[in-house]
Structures are given as structure tokens and as C-alpha cells.
Chains A and B, each alone.
Chain A
Amino acid sequence: MAEAMPAAPSLIGRRIRKLDAPEKASGRTRYIHDLEVPGALHAKILRSTEIHARIVAIDTSAARALPGVHAVITAADVPWQRPIGVGKDHLPLKTDRVRSLRDEIAAVAADTEEIAEAALRLIRVTYAKLPVLADVTAAMAADAPQLHEGRPGNVAMTFDYAQGDVAQGERESDVVIEDVFRLHYVTHCCMGVSGVIAEFDPAGNLLLHSNTQVPFLHKREFAEALGIDPARIRIIQPPIGGAFGSKLDIYPFEPIAIFLAKITGRPVKLLFTREEEFLASPTRQPVLLKLRSGCRRDGTLTFRTVETVHDNGAYTSWGATTPFVMMQTISSLYRVPHCLYHTAAIYTNNPYAGSFRGYGNLQATFAVEAHMEKLAEAVGMDGLAFRLKNAQTAGEVTPQGMQFKSCGFQQCLETAAARSDYLRKHAAYAAQQRAPGPVKRGIGMASMLHVGGGAKIYPSDGCGTILKIDDFAHVTLMTGASEIGQGSETVLAQLVCEELGLPLEAVTVVNNDTDITPWDVGVHASRTTFIAGNSAIGAARKARAKILAAAAQKTGLTEEALGLAGGCVVRRASGERLFELGKFLRGLHFSDRAELVMTTFYYEPPSRHQDREFKGDVSAAYAWATQVCEVEVDSDTGIVRLLKVTGAHDVGRVLNRLGIEGQIEGGVVMGQGYALTEDLMVDHGVIRNPNFRDYKLVTAPEIPEMDITFIETLDGEGPQGAKGVGEAPAICIAAAIANAIWNATGTRIYALPFTPEHVYRALHGAAAPPAWTGGA
């Protein structure tokens, strides 16, 4: 096997096989759906059939009487329940009012899923309808009913950011443009549906098998919702069938399963159906965005004024906080001296948005990169030169306070443009716009900036590691970082092996049990490789130092003269093997000096934390990328085919080439779905297409050719120089495709998705551009 090297070249940058892949490809991995807990009951949730209504009465008597039913609960049975979620505005079981179709009214625990479903059908709910707030306009109307106490105007959250003076910026501008953009609903579509297993032991300790991305912080969330001591909660994460941000919050089904476990005294397993997954798991944040931008005749950007209104849905989850990321792109992707940014997230009776890979950045980049293209044309510059003129460089501290210590942005632009033959094709395709025939080609570019060195959304961003080496030189790495399919387990093992000169098989990673693993703030914000990676390296270096110190004593050589390679202690200079590591460790374990258990924590280096005005640094490093999309547009059908994506990504350094390629390719295709095929149709509070037949994910025949180049800027703080990359590849695709359609047809489309019907209408002048309805 390639990884089992002799006294060895570096593992960094190699194609390392994912540790969990053989088991997964054999169908032997046991996801939450596959776990059998002896004695477990099966739970189902009754959801509202009204979009907005008072609950007048709930009759559960017939359901309770059904044989095989162990519990039927409503809010009345759990008077101690507390609100959950980012806005703490959401009771797991609704008391007197439902605010969206997904709302949980009752739940059943029964011997089988079938009995639980039959019981749900026996529950009678009487509603008194209330007016439906179907969109933000209705919700902002002066006479609109208030959806939540203490939230006048149905405002869930607002965000304001300012730098410089946009009025002055506008005065200094030779060109000023303003447009409104509309971004739609999409949802995560994890292939494994949501689920949880809850059980209490006789002492009242809660064990949760959960797919959460945030095990440690969610212990506290659950404890608060349940009114119990967080120290009595243990969370085990089985392998997770996809997450992409969807598991960053807690949702009603989790406390509900816990209520049922508590009330029945039995383990309770609750799994969604696919339809439920569409209806009751979070979405990406839909946004209406007004952007006003300007530049000088020489192409220097002068100002940006941005106003956005977000349909928050009925409750508040992380989706409401995406402006935090959006404003970074607006203020700091390119150098802009003057910026003004305002967002309001407005409660409606629609589904509510959570966090989703890219976290607001897809929406912000869509608007910003449309204006980069339009401004360039207005001043007669090509899109590449215009972007290069305004692109950030290493060493920059932006007016928002972000510090770009490593920054390969200009290289990303140049590389992606050169490899895609952007300038030549752009000119050639533009010249073809009026040529006969319905099928036209176009090429478009977009770039992105995203956190790549952790994210200080909490007071700090840390991760712990415990590393032990047994007497056969087998390493167990216990890390707080969760694996969600992205390959963190493998990259952490790789970083440890690099330090200790061991093959990948010599490492077992334990990463899924809060009683064992050290603290971490969760898998999000592309932070795991950077934060958990640095933490793992710290532990491995401690182990290395201990081993070399002992070896120096034994050999009489200095520690500096020794090294670890190929599973041996070696002479550093010559690579000569001195002794086999396992054998040496056996000796050490029997001595009184061993202590071969290492602990470390890594926290991001000190920096200026963001203040209330959102000024400060949010990450120890930032990732950059430019993606160029080439499309074919058929004006007779409205079909847009994505032919090729040329990406250049500043990733700091490639650690596992196989893993990072997979992240980029998967992200590109997710971005393609966002742009071209996916559309969660929300119509007056109702999701019209809660299934894969009508909600179209990209399939294999449609994927583009992908040409990906990694720009290695070797970040000084990154583990082996690496930066985070998980979210980056999905961010630019829709923006680049919009620019490509413009290049192909001369038509600028301001609203997503670019499904055939929308594109056809836009190309034939039958679609009005989005109007600003976000208020004054």
C-alpha cells in the first residue's frame, strides 16, 4: 500500500484514502437509521395542517387507546419545555398557536413505526385560522399580526454595518449602478434523513445518539430546553449521512424524542421520512437584495450600499445570522473604501432557514460579482483587469478589520482566467450573441472570500486532542472534531502520522462521544482541518518530543540527531533505522517514565474580536477562490448547460489531495444545483415539491468538466500551511453562471434559479426583474 512507507517522504499533498471508505463501500457502516437499541420505541410527530392558526383543542384519547401505543404527548404533557434555537423563539411542542405547516403539535411513541403512524391519524386537532403572512411584504404591513411576542413589525433580527461615507463615495464615482437580486429557497438534501435516539439510564442520565454537528455546545442547549443538568447528557454521533450545516442547530424533533424517552422510561428512536426531511428540516436563507455600487473611470471601486431583507420563516435559526458572512464579502472581497449595509430578517409563516454550506456567501457573491461585471463593462475594462485592480492582496487589513496574512486572490484570478482562456472566449462569445441559431455559449467569472482559519462566532474557537500511543506503536487520536463525511478523520490521522513517521493504519480516530473526546465548538465554518488539525499536530509533537528524549537517553545521541520515520526511530541525517518504534515503546511502557498520553488544546491566535459594529477579525486565515463557468444557453428551451468549471483555490496547502479534490468537486456540483436545478417552491407557506421527483438535484450526466488548480500560499498559522476549504467551492458557481449567461445572450438575470422556465421567460422579455419590496 502506498501510504505504508519506508523511511519516508512527506505524506503532505498525497492522495490518502479515506479511513472509513472501505466499510462504507461495503454497506457495513451503521448510521443512526441502522442502529437497533433493545427495547426501543418508535416515535412519530403530528404536524400542523394549518399554516397559521390558534390551536383550539387537541383530542388524543383515541390515539392513546390504540394497542401498542406507549405515549401520546402534547405541549400540555411537558409544561417544563423551554424554547429552542438561535432565537429561542421556538417551543418544541406548540402550545396554543401554529406558525407554519411544519409545526409540531403532538408526538407518539409506540412499539412500531406503523402503530405510531396509525395513532397520529387518530389525533383530532381543532384550529381557528389566522391570516397567513405569505411573504415579507405581508409581514411588514402596518396591520400585519405579530407572529412572536415582543417582536414588533415581525422583525426577527437586524444587522447594520458601515465603513467610510457612502455619500462621499458616490460623489467620487464616475459610474453608479443599482439592481435588485432575488435568491430562492433550497435545502440540504442530506442523503441520510434526520434521526435521533434518546434514552435515560436509571440514574436519570441522558444518552443521545445524534447526528449533530455541534455535540458539546448542544449538550447545553438540550439541557436548557429540558431543564436538566448539562453534565448529565452524553452525545454519541454515529456516522452521519451528510450535514452541510443542517445539523448546526437543534430542532423540535430532538427534544420531542427526549420527552418521549423520559415519559415512557424507554429508549425512543425517531426518524424522518424523506417528505418530512423536505418539510421540516432547514433551508438556505432566501434573500431579496438591493445593491448600489460605484467606481471611477479608471476602475477603482468607490462604494457599496446594500440593503437586504430575509424571509426568516416562522422561527429563528442560524439562517437569520447569515448577514454576518454576507457583509464580509461586501466589505472585504474587493477593496471598497465606503460601505453601508443593512439587513432585516422578517418573520413570516414560511419554512425557516438554517445554516447551509457557504452561509449567506452564495447570495452576497451573486450580487457583488454581477456588479463587478457590469461596472467593468461600464468603464470599458475587461472583467479580469477590473477585478485584479480591486482584488485584495496579502498584508491588507480591511476597513472591517479582517487581516489577510496569506492571500492568493490575484493568483486565483490569473490562474482561472488563463486556464479557461477567459479573455479570448469572453470576447468571442460576446461577438456571437446576435448570430443566428438558438444555442449560444458564454463564459463567466466570479470570486469568493471565506473564513479559512476557524471562525470566532463564539468567544473563542478551540478544539482539544488526547493522543495515546500503545506498546505496539498504535496511536489513538481522540479529537473533539466531528466527521460528517468531509474526511476530517483521515486528515487528522495524516497530520499525526506526518509528525510520528507512522503509516495511516497505525492511527485510530475517536471523534464521536462527548464522554471521551475533548471539547470543540463543532463542525462548521470550514474550521476543522485548521483548528482540529493544529490541535492534533500539537499532541503529536508532544509525543514525538517524549519519544525522542527517551531515545536520546538510550542512544547517547542528541534529540536533534534523531527522527521518526517508517515506524522506527532513525538517525535524522542518514535515515538509518536505530530501533523499531513498537519495541522501543514496549520498553518505555514498562518504565516509570512513559506517560504516553498527550493532551493539547488549540485556540486561534489572539486578534481583535469583532465588536458590536462588526469590526474586527473573525478568522486566523481566509480562503480565496476564482471560478470560471462556461455554459451553453438554448434560447428556444431556456435550458442552460454547465459545460466546464475552471477553479483556482487558495487553500494554503494541499494536505490530502484526494480529499480536497472531493470537497471541491462536491461543492461545485452543489453550486450547480443551486444555480440551475434546485428550487424549493414555497407558495403561501406550503412547500409544493417535497420530494426528489420535483426537487431536482444534479445527476451524474449533468456534471461539468472540472479543472481545479490549488494555489498554495502556505499560511503561517495553518496546519502544515493549510486553510479551510469545505464551503468555498459552492460559493461562486451561481454568480459565475449568471455572468456566463450574460456573456452568451446579453441578458442579465437577477433572480435564481436558472431553471428552463425562468431563463426562457427572461430571454424573451417575459419576466420582470425583481422589485424591491423590503420597505424604505
Chain B
Amino acid sequence: MRYGLKIAFRYLTANKAQTGLLITGVAVGVFVFIFMSALIGGLAVYLVQSTVGNVSHVTVEAPSREASLLVSEADGDVLVVTQAATNQRELLRTADAFLPLIDTWEGIAATSRQVVGNGLAVRGQVRAPVSVTGVDLDKLSAIADIAGSITSGDADVSGMKVVIGSSLAEDLSIRVGQVLRLQSDRDIDLGLMVSGIFEIGVEALDRRAAFVSLATARTLFELPQGVSRIEIKLEDLNQAEQFARRIEAETGLAATPWTEGNAQLLSGLRAQANSGNLIKAFALITIVIGVASALLLSTYRRRPEIGIMRAMGASRGFVVLVFVTQGALIGLLGGMIGAAIGFAALSPFPLPENAEPGGFPIDVRQGAYGLAISLTALGAILASILPARSASRVDPVSVIGQ
């Protein structure tokens, strides 16, 4: 084993230019692999972040009050007519009972009880439809990062204040400190002072959202108790489905993960990951072919030596070992060099969470360095098996010559 390694190493160092080129080629392939992993991974983080970063990961609402069927269908055909219950608004009345419990769960970043409803923002002759969200004072920025997106004023909804988006402010030509009239769909009218204007970059929020305190919203929508929904932000947004299921199981409420409304994004991400994998597979195939052809050439050049080694008592297995070891060394070395270069080249890029819109969202953490190195080493070993086997079949008699 050790001796085979020595000979393999000597063969590689005997022709430094050729070995250097080969290892460079492998390293380039590995770099492509790592670059694709980091780019696809970074893009996914960036896209998900910009889509889901400012929305609820799991939304809890009251279960539907549709009448359930009491007759078993097994008893025969059942014809039913159900009518949606429209005489009562669906409300979470038990929120205060289980919210403290959910808050203690591992992996929950924030929860926010909300009273929501629709209305009109009115200023002079301008009227704009708005979606009003009433939140606890300290939870204004729990779901969307309002505080971090304020362009003027403060993120403050205490008392009779309202925080609105920049597009809405423009439409209404309103500035911080001025008064905005909010007219709810319950025909309640309130004058609220604009305390802050935010710009998140999501049109639905910037043009349509108005944030007020829970108390203000209760007044606007005539809801003295209960809340309309609870929005939950998770530490890991990939866990949304598990958490939604857990909430449903433990509270009996309806919980919707963000993934449910974003099937297109998810399938887009999957397609993107697939094409990334295809490119990575091509990089690996190129490595395998390169190593195989270089080693095959080397076995042809060394046929006389291989014959002499066999005559001197080297077994076939030993010859195989020498050439497979060369493949493994090339793969390992090329892999590590490629990974090191990849890491060094990708590190300067900002993480996708912080990437500027229109920037290059590369995630250096998702370079899959270990995977790249081990797949390359494995590929190079596989690539060397064919040349090694052909080397081990060299007939000493044919090369010794009479």
C-alpha cells in the first residue's frame, strides 16, 4: 500500500508539467461545481428572502365554520347543501390562551396578533383603498421590517397614529405629522396622524398597507375582543410546513405556511436547482473524462515499465493500485485546490441576505466544498479504474522484447 503510494507519487512528480496541467483542469472543474452550488444556493436564499422576508411564515386563523356532515357516507349516498356562514365574522377568540405557549417553542422568531380589515384612506378628494393592520405596539416590526424601512418619521403606532407606505403617501400627497382620515368598511371614520412612512420595496405593502395599534383597529372594525389572525415568523423559514402542522395539531386552528401561496416560487427554485445540478454533473463528467484520458495516456507511455514491474514480481493488484492511487491523488489535490480557490474567490461577495437588489447573490456558505472534493476524488478514482485495469493486463513478454 505504502509502496504503491510512493510509486504513484513518483510517477506524478516525474512529469510535473503534465501533472500540473491535469490538476489545474480538475481544480477548474471543481471551481465550477462550487461556484454553481454557491450561486444557485445564494439565488434561492435571495429569492426566498425577498419574497418571504417581509411576510408571515405561518398564519393562524380561525377554522372554517362550515357545517360538518354527521351522517356517514358509508350508510349510502348523501346529498348535502351547505351554506357558508356569513352572519358572523370569523374570529380567533382563544388567541390569548395559546399564544404564550407558541411563543415558547424553539424556532419561533416572533408572533403577532392582528386585527385586520379593509378601508379607504381619504385626503381631500383623493381616496385610496387600504388594508389596515392593527398590531401590538411592540410588534409593529415583528413580521415586515417596518422600523428598518422607515424613510421619514418613526415606526410608532401608539395612540391615534398610523404608519403608511411611501407609495400611498405619494398618492395622497401626505407627509409625516399630517392627519389622514381612515374610513373602515364598517363605516367608522377616524382621523389619524401619520407618524412614519416606510418603503419596503413590495408594492402591496408600500401602496396598500396602513399600520395602526390594536386598539385603533378594534375601533375601526368594531371588534372589541378576539383577533383576526396571528402571524408567525420563524427562525428557519424552511420549517414553515412542520410548524403549521404542529399548530393545527395542538390548537385545532387553521395554520397556513408561506409555501402554500408560493407554489410558483418553489417550483421555480426547484427548476433552478435542477439546472444547477446538471451543470455540476457536467463539470464532474469533464473531470472524469480528463483524468481517465490522461491516465490512459500515461499507462501507454509506461507499458515497458509496467511489464518490467510485473516481471520483477509485482502483482496485477499492485499495478492497479499504483494507477488508481494516481487518480485519487489528482482528484484529491485538484479538488482541494479548486475548493480553496472557490472559497477565496467567493468570500468577497456579500451574503445574499444582504445583497443589493440587482447584485450577484452568491452564498459562499453554500459552496458544498466537502461534497465537491469527495465527489471529485471519487470521480477521479472511478476514472482511473479503466486505465489501471488495462495497465495491469500488460504482458511482460510483449514489452521486454527479445
Query: Do the two chains belong together in a single complex?
Result: no
